[in-house]
Structures are given as C-alpha cells and as structure tokens.
Amino acid sequence: MNHVIIGNGIAGIQAAETIRYLDPTAFITLFAAESHPPYCRPMISLMLEGRISSDRLAIRNPHFYDDLQIRSIAGAYVTSIDVDAHAVTIDDHEPIFFDRLLIATGADPRTMKIPGHALNNIFPMRTVSHVENMLTDISTARHALVLGGGLVGFKAAYGLMRRNIPVTMLIRSEYPLSMQVDDIAGGMILDRLKANGLTVRTGIDALAFEGDSRVREAHLSDGSVLACDRVIVGKGVQPAVGFIPKDRIPVDLGVLVNTNMETGIPGIYAAGDVAECIDRVRQCPWINAIWPEAAMQGRVAGMNMAGRTVSYPGSLGRNVIRIFDLDVMTAGLINPEPDDGYQIYSRIEPRLPVYRKFVLKDNRLLGFILINRIETGGRLVSLIQRQFPLSASEMGILKTL
C-alpha cells in the first residue's frame, strides 16, 4: 500500500506512526512544507520569550523518519491533487502516486491586505521560522504593536514584554480572548493585562502601515497614529486548502470529513487544523484547531488508511492559559444564543478573583469558563465529552464549584 501524507505537524506525524505500526510493509511518503523536524507548535512563544531555543521544540528524535522507514521530502509544497489519477504534484515535478492520501496541511496565519502590509518587521507568529525572523535584531526594538487579542496575540505580547520591549495591543472586539470567553471573563483578563503594564486598546484596528523599508508607524481606525518598529499580526488562522480541487474534494472553511476522517473521495483523508468535522457540542461541522484534537484525528485517519475502521467521536474546543497570575480554562460552548433552552449558571468573586460559568441544555454540560481554581477542569471536560445528563449530585457539585 502506498501512502502519501501532506504535512508533518502533529496530525501528519501521528498518522504516519499509526500506519507504520499497523502495516510494517507500507510505503509512506511525507511532504513537509517546513525544513524543521517535527516540533511542538504551541511552544514557539517560549522561543520569543527567550526561555528555550528552537532545538527544545522537537517532538521526535532526529532519526525519526529513518527509524520508521518514511520517505520525507522537506521544504516541499504540494501544488495540486489529481483525484482521478490518485497523484499529487510538487511545483513542476513529476507526479507522485498514492493509494491513500492524507491532507494534514494545518492552517496559515490570516494576513492583513492593507497599505504597507509588505513592509519589513511585520510578522505572523505561526512557525519556528516566523519567530526566528522576529528575533533578528530584537535588541534594537523600541516599540512593538500586536494586532489581535486572541491566544497568539497575548503570547506574542507577553514574549516581547519579557524582553523589556514596550508593547501596545490592538483588539477589534471589546475585550481579549473574545472567541474563548464571555464579557465578564474578558473584562477580568483586560484588567489584568493593563495592571501588568500592557497597553491595550479595544475596539480599534490598524488601517495602514508606513515606513521606509521597515515599518515605522501604524495608522489606526480611531484616527490616531502609533509609532512602532515591529508588528506581530495575531489575527487567527485559516485552513491551508489553496491547492485542493474544491470541485472534487468538498471544502467549506476546511476540508469536510466523515467520522473516519475521510473526505468525499474514497481513499483521501484529512486531519488536523485543515479538517472540518463534527463538533461534539454544536453537532455540526466545525474546526477546533487545537493540538490534542489534531493528534487524535491523525491517529484515527492513520488507522483507517491502514485498513482498520475506526470512528472519530467529534472535536471539542478547549484551552488552558495563564495570563500573568490568572489561570484561565474554557471548553465547549460558552456564549450560546439567548432564549434557546440553555441553562446558565455563573458566579463571580472579584476580590479573589474567581469566576465560573457553566452552560447546559437538557441537563447536559455543553461548556464552561473557569478563572482561577481550575483543578476540576479535566473532570468537566469529560462531562462534556460523554454528553450524558448530569445526575442530581453532579448538578449540585457544579453549582458549588
């Protein structure tokens, strides 16, 4: 059996390992857009802080591909898929044929197509190379601008602050982490960011950049101009689907897959941040672009590619992050539509500070927010995943957490 895997992130790596374990004689070719060996993408912000070097990010040993007898082609971008011929093409090279194909290309950072966006010292933060580029001449930085108030934006701002670089964060919404928390938690986080010396401006975005060859200032939507000599764009990501023939392989925001991680074309699979599968809580196609789900999807795809029929139970979004001295954990649905039968229990103790919010429907836990005292978070995630009605005792405990 001839397997081709596009992408060497955690989904692609898990799939390759699973295939090799189940089929020692299979031929596996893996294309990697990056030249770096497999690494832990969520930890790249620690490089920006200066806490670790890039060699500490590796998740497999240097001989990983040789040990598993995987043909690895690094620095290679697949430019097209021929569905009928069962072949992929890299640039103008000869096609490479497959019996089973896994699309695990992940996601690309969203770009800002505004005047001046191509100036030097304007960076995304998605890969090791992005951070390495940020660190070039970092000692000369005088003021940084971070665009976006999500997880990437905060990690970028925190890393720069750890290097004693003044940072301004612009957030289009009214509070940080608006995709992960509600307005109460967002307000608590915003207060904590400001208290720790981060300048945060909400409800504002950048309209243009100016400079010579390098960015020198940003023109903002409130009419002001902000001096900055480097910009980090943390505006989220979008699935890397540009090379996929959308008239043949169903694509919505990401590549649509069934419970076996297979696309609408038999023998072609997708996993990780590029794949759109059923969300356990919403019960509709969704992308939860987080590391543990990508790893599980890769394993399930690998098992099915190797001939074992295994179903993926659906994804569940969740995040844990420390924001200075605030521990924040969220999972599932936390901002439901009003008047649609949801039960919401919340409690706040501002002086501690502690905040809890639980979203239920038909006595099933669908989501939660925890600010500080997050020790019960793992148990709460399991309650969401099992989707059974809570017992009376579980409901009682929930209301007292």
Tens of pLDDT, residue by residue over 210-224, are 999 999 999 999 999
Q: Which CATH number fits domain 111-233: 3.40.718.10, 3.50.50.60, 3.40.50.10280, 3.40.50.2300?
A: 3.50.50.60
Query: Which structure tokens are listed for 193?
Result: 């960011």
263-280 average pLDDT score: 98
Give the model's pLDDT for residue 85: 97
Whether the per-residue pLDDT at 92 is higher than 80: the answer is no
**Alpha-carbon distance 222 to 232, whole Å?**
20
pTM equals 0.96
Query: Is 272:7 a contact under the CB 8 Å cutoff?
Result: yes
Helix (H) or strand (E) holding 201: strand 199-202
348-358 average pLDDT score: 94
Helix (H) or strand (E) holding 328: strand 326-332
Q: What is the mean pLDDT of the chain?
A: 96
Give the model's pLDDT for residue 256: 98
Question: Which of these, 73, 95, 71, lies nearest to 85 by C-alpha position?
Answer: 95
Instruction: Label residue 10 by pLDDT band (50, 70, 90).
Output: very high
CATH 3.50.50.60 domain position(s) in the chain: 2-108+237-305, 111-233
Chain-centre distance for alpha carbon 76 = 22
Give the model's pLDDT for residue 279: 97
Give the model's pLDDT for residue 399: 79
Whether the per-residue pLDDT at 340 is higher than 90: the answer is no
CATH 3.30.390.30 domain position(s) in the chain: 325-400
- CATH class, range 325-400: alpha beta
Question: Which of these, 238, 48, 54, 56, lies nearest to 146 by C-alpha position?
Answer: 48
Whether the per-residue pLDDT at 121 is higher than 80: the answer is yes
Whether the per-residue pLDDT at 265 is higher than 90: the answer is yes
Whether the per-residue pLDDT at 396 is higher than 90: the answer is no
Domain spanning 2-108+237-305, CATH architecture? 3-Layer(bba) Sandwich (3.50)
Read out DSSP for 344-394?
A: EEEEEETTTTEEEEEEEETTEEEEEEEES--TTHHHHHHHHHH-PPPPHHH
**Alpha-carbon distance 304 to 19, whole Å?**
9
State pLDDT tens for residues 129-188.
Answer: 999 999 999 999 999 999 999 999 999 999 999 999 999 999 999 999 999 999 999 999
